[in-house]
Amino acid sequence: MSRSPHSPSTDPASEVTVRTGRRRGARRRSVVSYFFRLLALSLIALPIVALIFAFVQPIEWERARIGFERHWRSNAAKLGVTLPGTPDLADLDGRLASHGLKAGDAIFMRIFKREFELELWMKRDGRFHRFASYPICKWSGELGPKIKQGDRQAPEGFYTVDAKALNPKSAWHRSFNLGFPNTFDKTLGRTGSFLMVHGGCGSIGCYAMTNPVIDEIWRLVTAALDSGQQRFQVQVFPFRMTERNLALYGGTGNSAFWTSLKPGYDLFEASQLPPKVSVCNKRYAFAAGAEGSDGSAPIEAACPVGSLATP
């Protein structure tokens, strides 16, 4: 008698094939499940490990974070991506008007390495008001001052820039020279040259801002100098000079130098006037900026009465 076409197969080979397929499917599901569990654990564990590392080795963590920040900013610039924090460069006139400012007003700058920021302040009603913060695309080296030619360090300290320091035909689009070594740097025998704020996103001791950003900065710099400001002050810090940051870096070899910069930082924070900066016995010395001052005074060797000389 013939077997019904709807009756179950009793072919041993078919049964083996079915069981083998089921086992393979189960293994694949197990592997996929293991992979996702591992991924989930990694997403939980990595931030925990990072926090532990940041707590145990804060300086090394900061160095790694700065390196990562520098890397992704460079790649973003190569792709033509506007860096986060960039103001609306197409509406400079409108932004100026909203602050009660105009091109030609006196300017003042602060640079913060760790935060990758350049602040541009402009004078209104006798004091300076922060007009814009621009993201720095790249600076080279580590936190700390420039010491000698070839160390690839971007300088830190107090500098002044006049019209002679401007280069409209720079290899980096446009640039202005910070004036390193200044009087303070020279008293310590520090060497180097052509330390700039410029366009592009490459740096060997400079602060690179990208071309669109340096174009806006250039317009405000040239307008201020053309309108009679003799020079403008640029304060360059490793980080925002808070007590917390100074404590974090207190055990490093540059902590004494960084602490020496803080009185000048504090004077501006308190008054929004650039301090009078001089060099006294191989140390920075600071006096409160005169009412209405635009920071044009050069940095010279002097020990003025009433100055805040650094320890």
As annotated, the active-site residues are 198, 206
- What is the separation of C-alpha 250 from the centre of its chain, rounded to a whole number of angstroms? 20
Q: Which residues pair with 286 in a beta bridge?
A: 277, 308
- CB atoms < 10 A from the CB of 249, how many? 20
d(CA 254, CA 184) in angstroms, rounded, equals 16
State the angle between helix axes of 12-56 and 58-78 in degrees (0 to 180), rounded to the nearest 10.
110
The secondary structure of residue 197, as a DSSP letter, is: E
d(CA 237, CA 249) in angstroms, rounded, equals 13
- C-alpha distances out from residue 91 to 43, 106, 111, Å: 41, 20, 23
The secondary structure of residue 163, as a DSSP letter, is: G
Main-chain phi, psi angles of 124, to 5 degrees: -145, 130
d(CA 259, CA 245) in angstroms, rounded, equals 10
d(CA 274, CA 269) in angstroms, rounded, equals 9
